[in-house]
Chain A
């Protein structure tokens, strides 16, 4: 939103969804004659930021959200105070329409849908790629197209991933004597608020990801749940992935994160908007997540940021990445990121060591990690074809990669469908052989 004074524009945000509050977004101020001033905006509910502009006249204020949708508003810079609202509710402004013209029922209905159903409105408007949605339309909280009962998303109690010597992994669950079906328990609609993550307690250095098994549309999926101080997980049908019986058969999994700054940065990168990510990276680098103390306090935000720095080719934070990899000994993603950092430095031996470490730690928490682990080991295998350990690790990583839904934020592997299965119930738990 914009107010005007002395050739400046004050942008005020309203209707900011929770997971964007505190984030930094790239913002454009477009003058009437088409000149664009590119800057960044810190997003807070009802928060205001003032930008100087060179000329008076009509300005368009726009920002592209991490999911690719645009928010647009206009403002008249003429020295008079004038307000135009830029609302995040639905990528369109909550303009005077809702305030002045709509009847009460419509307005209350509108408002009831805004805070937690940001994604739902996204889908209604079809203004974005569903599979890369910043806020996925969750299966479990939607009451129209995807009834959780009808669609049968079932989730097991979560397990810990242990690497075995034969390149398989054991998913150890408390209910080890039950059959597979009895592992499955229907999760109520409030699952997104669940706090069943047992790996996010105590010292962050002891944190570990949880692995879940989901039954969706007749197929079993293994998914990763990164630890967080406020753990919540969202499932969504992948409407972009073609399936035998139409789209939506495959599953997308997204986790909430403590830091909206890191999440937004990571999502710009996932969408391929590296230019946007680059615009807000300096701001991220100045925040606590990129500092040692911040990393210890919130390792997931640090990992998301590290993924972006790696993609953008930032080599100034190598020691920081090493620290990330070695400090959190139960999180595979830090080891993958630092392994790639060494790979880019031309240190193949050290890169291989860290990739082996990552595999020992378990499934990568994020799909980006699945991709990087597979590509990194494949590269090393082509570089060092005689190294048997690398060859075996590369094969294992490739098989994980081949099962993964690459559009899912968190790792989500198709492990059993139709006549084939990569999982087996044993007395110790579920054995997953990639």
Chain B
């Protein structure tokens, strides 16, 4: 288990501290295992320390979980999985995914905001690469989980077995209240064969000598827990959905395994959303020294770019639907920046329950999509958007036939100019952008030369 945070358990009761001590004791035992200079007494002492540390952590977790079940009020419970290293030599290591898991955990601990549904627990599984290594919480995150600033927190290995156990416990915590939120985040490699299959650390890719093993069938996992609360269940999967030849040619109908088993009860009312960082057959992308692009955009949307159209009670709220729309715009905008085709995807089953995900932690920003009429003028138009009191943003000349840009929430003007002699003129459009995405149409007028009846 790798429960690093439970609401109300900080300071001396910090689960993260106890978990770190357990992992340190475990590492110590491993380090002494094959050293000839270590006596059996020293080994036994190390084993004893490990057992004590393990007992202390597991005992604290057990107490915390009982407390969570009896807690009044709703909570958000999260499980974060980052996989950078793989046992199968055919799967390359990847660093961006580890940084993605770090970033999502940071957001949960320091920025996640919902007045009626505070953060309840965070479970972290991390198969880190040497770079960036174990999770190093920011000072505010360290304070939240009760570890010393600057310390690192080793993650429990993100193997299929560990993920399955952690997933079951996470779901158990989350299902205690119908209005809880269950948040799942995965970042690592992935495959696709009619369904997406995220790969845990010990995933095995089929070859001439071995079958597929330990691929996570996340789509069916979500279906299988249809009889479980809570009402809001969000899955963020930042992984490729490419279809490699081995999988294409493999006759296995179902290469993956679900994380839990279904039961024959009536399905509960729930708002279930799966947000993917790629589309079927496509790759997800990310820089080696930062979180993947989808995670970056996701977190920006959760912070400030994914609000619903209207504030409620003066608060800007991110809903599952507004996040979906914001991510669509974010993918378009980021694709131009990164010069790579980013395609995010979402799947949902909605039964009309409360679908509030979180509140914005910063002032809202809004995606603005400009298009022109007549459409063929778009290519030559120098488009711009100018928020009041802020610098003008202009479309890059090589941008495709749609332009997404970002503006702070507030009055803006937009327009288009043309190289001289201009064939078109564009009245400036004044508007207040509405989150998460505002389509703005610029209607152009042809410039009519004196004495001319009209030009095309």
Q: Which residues of A contact B (CB under 8 A)?
A: 28, 30-36, 38, 58, 60, 62, 70, 72-74, 90-93, 95, 97, 100-103, 106, 124-127, 240-242, 272-275, 278, 311-313, 343-346, 348, 375, 378-379, 382-383, 395, 398-399, 401-402, 406
Q: Which residue of A lies closest to B280 (CB)?
A: A406
Whether the Cβ atoms of A274 and B443 lie closer than 8 Å is no
Whether the Cβ atoms of B258 and A90 lie closer than 8 Å is no
Whether the Cβ atoms of A398 and B254 lie closer than 8 Å is yes
Whether the Cβ atoms of B350 and A312 lie closer than 8 Å is yes
The CA of A335 and the CA of B317, in the complex, are separated in Å by 39
The CA of A206 and the CA of B328, in the complex, are separated in Å by 43
Whether the Cβ atoms of A401 and B194 lie closer than 8 Å is yes
Task: State which of B375, B434, B446 has its C-beta within 8 Å of the C-beta of A90.
Answer: B375
Instruction: Please judge, given known A-B contacts A32-B432, A126-B400, A313-B350, whether A344 and B266 are in contact too, CB under 8 Å.
Output: yes
A-B contact sample (18 more), CB < 8 A, given A127-B401, A378-B220: A28-B434, A31-B432, A32-B430, A32-B432, A38-B309, A90-B375, A92-B373, A92-B375, A95-B373, A125-B371, A272-B347, A273-B321, A346-B265, A346-B267, A382-B224, A398-B253, A398-B254, A399-B253
Residues of B within 8 A of A343 (CB): 267
| Distance from B326 Cβ to chain A, minimum over Cβ atoms (Å) | 13
Residues of A within 8 A of B227 (CB): 346
Shortest beta-carbon contacts, A-B, top 6: A313-B351, A34-B432, A92-B373, A346-B266, A275-B321, A70-B439
Residues of A within 8 A of B300 (CB): none
| Distance from A162 Cβ to chain B, minimum over Cβ atoms (Å) | 25
The CA of A60 and the CA of B432, in the complex, are separated in Å by 10
Whether the Cβ atoms of B220 and A34 lie closer than 8 Å is no
Instruction: Please judge, given known A-B contacts A93-B373, A241-B281, whether A272 and B434 are in contact too, CB under 8 Å.
Output: no
Residues of B within 8 A of A124 (CB): 375
Whether the Cβ atoms of A274 and B321 lie closer than 8 Å is yes
Residues of B within 8 A of A60 (CB): 431
Number of B residues near A (Cβ < 8 Å) is: 59
Q: Which residue of B lies closest to A403 (CB)?
A: B194
Whether the Cβ atoms of A278 and B264 lie closer than 8 Å is no
Q: Is residue B269 within 8 Å, beta carbon to beta carbon, of the partner chain?
A: yes
Residues of A within 8 A of B266 (CB): 344-346
Whether the Cβ atoms of A313 and B352 lie closer than 8 Å is yes
Whether the Cβ atoms of A382 and B374 lie closer than 8 Å is no
Whether the Cβ atoms of B269 and A313 lie closer than 8 Å is yes
Q: Which residue of A lies closest to B282 (CB)?
A: A242
Whether the Cβ atoms of B349 and A311 lie closer than 8 Å is yes
Residues of A within 8 A of B402 (CB): 126-127
Whether the Cβ atoms of B350 and A106 lie closer than 8 Å is no
Residues of B within 8 A of A127 (CB): 371, 401-402
| Distance from A101 Cβ to chain B, minimum over Cβ atoms (Å) | 5
Q: Interface readout for B384-403 with A: 1 if CB under 8 Å, 0 if not?
A: 00000000000000001110
Q: Interface readout for B341-354 with A: 1 if CB under 8 Å, 0 if not?
A: 00000111111100
Whether the Cβ atoms of B443 and A95 lie closer than 8 Å is yes
Instruction: Please judge, given known A-B contacts A93-B373, A97-B445, A272-B324, whether A34 and B253 are in contact too, CB under 8 Å.
Output: no
Residues of B within 8 A of A58 (CB): 430
Residues of A within 8 A of B373 (CB): 92-93, 95, 97
The CA of A58 and the CA of B351, in the complex, are separated in Å by 36
Instruction: Please judge, given known A-B contacts A101-B454, A379-B223, A382-B261, whether A274 and B350 are in contact too, CB under 8 Å.
Output: yes
The CA of A58 and the CA of B439, in the complex, are separated in Å by 16
Whether the Cβ atoms of B446 and A344 lie closer than 8 Å is no
Task: State which of A38, A240, A344 has its C-beta within 8 Å of the C-beta of B226.
Answer: A344
Task: State which of B226, B281, B374 has its C-beta within 8 Å of the C-beta of A242.
Answer: B281
Q: Which residues of B contact A (CB under 8 A)?
A: 193-194, 220, 223-224, 226-227, 253-254, 258, 261-267, 269, 279-282, 309-310, 321, 324, 346-352, 369, 371-375, 400-402, 409, 429-434, 439-441, 443-446, 448, 454, 456
Whether the Cβ atoms of B253 and A97 lie closer than 8 Å is no
The CA of A344 and the CA of B433, in the complex, are separated in Å by 40
The CA of A106 and the CA of B456, in the complex, are separated in Å by 8
Residues of A within 8 A of B253 (CB): 395, 398-399, 402
Whether the Cβ atoms of A125 and B264 lie closer than 8 Å is no
Whether the Cβ atoms of A34 and B434 lie closer than 8 Å is yes
Instruction: Please judge, given known A-B contacts A126-B400, A313-B269, whether A93 and B351 are in contact too, CB under 8 Å.
Output: no
The CA of A38 and the CA of B434, in the complex, are separated in Å by 12
Whether the Cβ atoms of B432 and A348 lie closer than 8 Å is no
Task: State which of A30, A70, A101 has its C-beta within 8 Å of the C-beta of B446.
Answer: A101
The CA of A379 and the CA of B219, in the complex, are separated in Å by 11
The CA of A343 and the CA of B265, in the complex, are separated in Å by 9
Whether the Cβ atoms of A34 and B347 lie closer than 8 Å is no
The CA of A72 and the CA of B400, in the complex, are separated in Å by 20
Whether the Cβ atoms of B433 and A313 lie closer than 8 Å is no
Instruction: Please judge, given known A-B contacts A28-B309, A36-B310, A382-B220, whether A348 and B349 are in contact too, CB under 8 Å.
Output: no
Whether the Cβ atoms of B350 and A375 lie closer than 8 Å is no
The CA of A36 and the CA of B409, in the complex, are separated in Å by 14
| A/B interface sample: 17 pairs, CB < 8 A | A34-B409, A74-B429, A92-B375, A93-B441, A97-B444, A102-B456, A126-B400, A126-B402, A242-B281, A345-B266, A375-B220, A378-B254, A379-B223, A382-B258, A399-B253, A401-B194, A402-B194
| Distance from B226 Cβ to chain A, minimum over Cβ atoms (Å) | 7
Whether the Cβ atoms of B223 and A375 lie closer than 8 Å is yes
Residues of B within 8 A of A375 (CB): 220, 223
Whether the Cβ atoms of B264 and A348 lie closer than 8 Å is yes
Q: Which residue of B lies closest to A382 (CB)?
A: B262
Whether the Cβ atoms of A383 and B264 lie closer than 8 Å is yes
Residues of B within 8 A of A125 (CB): 371, 375, 401
Whether the Cβ atoms of A344 and B267 lie closer than 8 Å is yes
| Distance from B366 Cβ to chain A, minimum over Cβ atoms (Å) | 9
Task: State which of B409, B434, B456 has its C-beta within 8 Å of the C-beta of A30.
Answer: B434
Residues of B within 8 A of A106 (CB): 456
Residues of B within 8 A of A401 (CB): 194
Q: Which residue of B lies closest to A92 (CB)?
A: B373
Instruction: Please judge, given known A-B contacts A92-B375, A375-B223, A382-B261, whether A34 and B346 are in contact too, CB under 8 Å.
Output: no
| Distance from B283 Cβ to chain A, minimum over Cβ atoms (Å) | 11
Task: State which of A72, A242, A278 has its C-beta within 8 Å of the C-beta of B440.
Answer: A72
The CA of A408 and the CA of B444, in the complex, are separated in Å by 36
Q: Which residue of B lies closest to A275 (CB)?
A: B321
Whether the Cβ atoms of B433 and A34 lie closer than 8 Å is yes
Whether the Cβ atoms of A35 and B346 lie closer than 8 Å is no
| Distance from B140 Cβ to chain A, minimum over Cβ atoms (Å) | 32
Task: State which of A30, A35, A102, A402 has its C-beta within 8 Å of the C-beta of B454.
Answer: A102
The CA of A240 and the CA of B345, in the complex, are separated in Å by 13
Residues of A within 8 A of B400 (CB): 126
| Distance from A251 Cβ to chain B, minimum over Cβ atoms (Å) | 16
Instruction: Please judge, given known A-B contacts A125-B401, A272-B348, A345-B266, whether A92 and B261 are in contact too, CB under 8 Å.
Output: no
Whether the Cβ atoms of A92 and B445 lie closer than 8 Å is no
Residues of B within 8 A of A272 (CB): 324, 346-348
Whether the Cβ atoms of A92 and B371 lie closer than 8 Å is yes
| Distance from B253 Cβ to chain A, minimum over Cβ atoms (Å) | 5
Whether the Cβ atoms of A97 and B446 lie closer than 8 Å is yes
| Distance from B164 Cβ to chain A, minimum over Cβ atoms (Å) | 15
Residues of B within 8 A of A36 (CB): 309-310, 434
Residues of A within 8 A of B281 (CB): 241-242
The CA of A382 and the CA of B257, in the complex, are separated in Å by 11
Q: Which residue of A lies closest to B193 (CB)?
A: A402
Instruction: Please judge, given known A-B contacts A103-B454, A379-B223, whether A62 and B348 are in contact too, CB under 8 Å.
Output: no
Residues of B within 8 A of A70 (CB): 369, 439
Residues of A within 8 A of B350 (CB): 274-275, 278, 311-313
| Distance from B362 Cβ to chain A, minimum over Cβ atoms (Å) | 17
The CA of A346 and the CA of B280, in the complex, are separated in Å by 31
Residues of B within 8 A of A100 (CB): 454
